[in-house]
Amino acid sequence: MIAREVLAVKRHLALDHLELTCLPADFHFHPSRIAPAMDKAITEAKAEGYRHIYVGYADCGTGGLLDRVCEKHGVERIAGPHCFAFYQGAAAYAEVGEADMMSFYMTDFLCRQFDAFFIKPLGLDRHPELVKDYFGNYEKLIYLAQTDDPALDKVAEDAAKMLGLVYERRATGYGDLPEALANASGAAANHQRA
């Protein structure tokens, strides 16, 4: 779910040595699949000779299982409970987390994939009356915008209307992601020089 953003940060920071391997984005529907798939991916990467691996996942609903995989392999992951936290920045998220408890977050990825990730899997294209069942406990939709794209803004605004939620846009950029990737890259470079 953050591949495009990782690649944008990679270009911006000239992290040309960074290679990206992705797990399926729909694992976020099934967080129990993330840790086993990550365990397999790290094992395979090490078998291929990769020595410096950084996991571009927050916990993402694994309930700490991803951290156990990271500990097992001696690798780090991006800090935070989910991408909504690291896009806002950990400190900013800590300040608003409680106030946002009844909010439905969207990111650039989720705007691009709104139909594929929400409308079709939840059956809202066939049964729009289910909107209240799925989203009735939310009060607002907060679009955490990584980029300035009017088309994505419109998707988020339209989604808020469709879901019956108050709309808010927060321009977050990539939040803590650039610093996390730069730090991981710097740690790998320092380790190679040692």
Q: What is the pLDDT of residue 193?
A: 34
Distance CA 136, CA 123 (A): 16
Distance CA 41, CA 57 (A): 13
Query: Quick one: which of 85, 103, 83 has its CA closest to 94?
Result: 85
Residue 140's beta-bridge partner residues? 103, 166
Q: What is the pLDDT of residue 97?
A: 86
Q: With contact defined as beta carbons under 8 Å apart, do 32 and 140 qualify?
A: no
Q: What is the pLDDT of residue 187?
A: 56
Per-residue pLDDT of the chain (194 residues; tens, 9 = 90+): 899 999 999 999 999 988 999 999 889 889 999 999 999 999 999 999 998 999 999 999 999 999 999 999 999 999 999 999 999 999 999 999 899 999 999 999 999 999 999 999 999 999 999 999 999 999 999 999 999 999 999 999 999 999 999 999 999 999 999 999 998 876 554 444 33
Q: What is the pLDDT of residue 140?
A: 97
Residue 169's beta-bridge partner residues? 143
Q: What is the pLDDT of residue 184?
A: 87
Q: Half-sphere exposure of residue 126, counting CA atoms within 13 Å on the CB side?
A: 4
Domain boundaries, the chain: 3-83+176-189, 96-171
Query: Quick one: which of 70, 91, 90 has its CA closest to 82?
Result: 90
Q: What is the pLDDT of residue 188?
A: 52
Scan for tokens 């939709």, then name that residue.
141
